[in-house]
Structures are given as C-alpha cells and as structure tokens.
Structure 1
Amino acid sequence: MEMQLSKLLYAIGILLLMSCKGTAKDNIQTITSTQQVKPNQDQIDFFNKKYFTTYNLAIDESNLSDHPYFSYLDCKNEGYFSVHFVPKEKDLQLFWSHDYYKKEDFNTYDFEKDNKKIEALIKNNINAYNVFSYFIKKEYLDSKDGCTLESIWLTKNAIAEIFLYNLKTNEWELVKNESS
C-alpha cells in the first residue's frame, strides 16, 4: 500500500506539471508571461548540492518516467521536493520516453552508472529542458507512520508549490500553489 501511495503521489506531481496544453515551449512562455509570483527569501534552492541524491528515470522496479528527475525528502526540516527536467522538443521527449532504456538489461541495472549518464546528458544541454520543482513543505508531511521516499504521507490540507527554473536569471519562480 505504501508503494502504491508513493506511485500515486509521483503521478499526481507529474500530472500537475504537465497540466498545461500545447508543447513544452508554449507552456513555458505561458507560465512566465502570466505569473509574476516570486518565492520568498526562505525558498529552498533546489539545485543546492546538499539536496541532490541521484538522477532517475526509473520510478520503481516496474515504472519508468518519461523525463529525468531527482527528489529529496527531509520530513523534519525542508519537506519533500522533486525536480523534473521536461524536454522542450519532441525528439528529446521521445529519446527519454522510448530510446534511452531501449537496450537496457534491468537484471543488471546499475543506478550509479545510470545517474552519471543522465547527469552528463542534462548538464551538456540544460537549455533543452523546462525545469520544474514540485515542493511540499514539511508542515504538510504526516510522518507518524514513517517518512521515506517510498511512503510519503500528506496532511489533509496539503499544498504543493510548483516552481519553474528561469535559465536566464538562474532563479526559481513560483508558478502556482496546488492542493495535493
């Protein structure tokens, strides 16, 4: 049940991020032109190295993401967030969703090797992505039954903050708050 809740939370986050219609390029233009909300000074820098765990495409042993992401969880201090690298162009979207794992043998899968490969591909081409973060503050996490990335529990009135990384200013910009 905990694994199912984790999958459900991840799916909700992805659906929220992808809720805009049109191409990813159109989405980023719409978001930046209609939202002028900036995070407050206490906002987490999601790219701070202390938060980085590993890049992933494998959500769990049976599900793959259609774009790279990483996530971080600290129930007592910062909360939970995931950072998503959503390709702007169709060719790159197809690469991550269909081609990247085409020749992978999951019986001998190496997470560390995969992390380095994904990192190199993103780092060398960051402008090809819309970078979003899905953030839930610690006060919205219910950790009475444990708190791990495999079992994240939210309080009844949880709010997720969705940020877009502005590649020109190198700042995270609040796009919207969403009930979760």
Structure 2
Amino acid sequence: MKHELPALPYDYNALEPYYDEQTVRLHHDAHHKAYVDGLNNAEAKLAEAREKGDFALVKHWERELAFHGSGHILHTMFWENMTPNGGGPATGLVAEEINKFFGSFDIFKKQFSAAAVAVEGSGWTLLCYNPIFKKLEILTAEKHQNLTQWGVIPLLALDLWEHAYYLKYQNKRAAFVDAWWNLVNWADVNRRLEACLK
C-alpha cells in the first residue's frame, strides 16, 4: 500500500500566533508531501529492482528510502507533538522521567533548546527513549536519515529545517524554538512513552 500524507490533527491556523498558518500550510502540504511522494517512489523503485534482479542503483534507492522515510515519520510526529493551547511544563509519566534523568523540567528545557539552536544547518532535535539504556535522551539528527543512537524511539520532535520557520521567524531560530514550547502536546508525548514502557 502506498503511503499517504496524514491530515493535520487541527486547522492550519490553529497554532497561531506561535506557528503561522502560511508556514503550516506550506510545511505540511508541500514539504511533508514531498517526503511521502519520495518514500513511495523509493519503495516502488526497490520493488522494481527486486522483480528485475537489477540492483545497480540499490545504494541510491536505499538512501532515498532512508531519507524520505525518516522525513515522513518525523514530520508526522512533529504535527502530532503540537496542539493548540499546549505547552507548559511536562505532565504525567514524561514529567517523572524528565525529572529523573535531567534533574528538572527547566534543566531539560534549557538543554533541549540549546541543542535545537545549535543544530548545524538543517535537522531535528529529539527527545527519545532508549530501551537499551532505559532512559530518556536528547539527540540531534542533522541528517535525519542518520540517527545518532540505534534503537532509540523518538517521543518529541522539533523540526529545525529552515522551511519549518523561515516565513515568520526568518533567521531567528531561537525565537522559533521559544515559541514552539507553547505548542508542545504533552499528552501525545506521554502516549508515546507509555507505549515504550509496556
């Protein structure tokens, strides 16, 4: 089955004033859709290679699969990780785990924000659960097809590609990061963490 662009869980303008309607519309309908289309194309080309027994371009199509597949997964999470009237300190289980591994929500927020602002060029900052170490980690993925630890499960994703914020925030990435904290959907992050711990 082909992958499809998921509908946003809210209206295009629902994240105003922190995330503007024009950027949300362009980001979702054009950029996220391009990842979905690229993923479908890579899977089709790999299926064709298997049918023909011709793997001359396997390295290229597997890179495309990793790039577009990761982009689709992370963008889907990015949209679900935000909600109108969101933000504030973490709640529930994720709040307990943040306190355990980072000392406090404020320390966690400072580290996550610093990591986000420091991403070189394009990429993501992620709060992840590492099932091997049994702990939360903040990781950055400057090339989102190359995560920095195998086996981690992303819980909270912040897109730091310029297309995510440039129309409103231009080159003021730190201002975008500060605004984004007002949108975090802690209920969604908790749902993801609870699934990890089952």
TM norm structure 1: 0.30
The structure with the larger Rg is 2
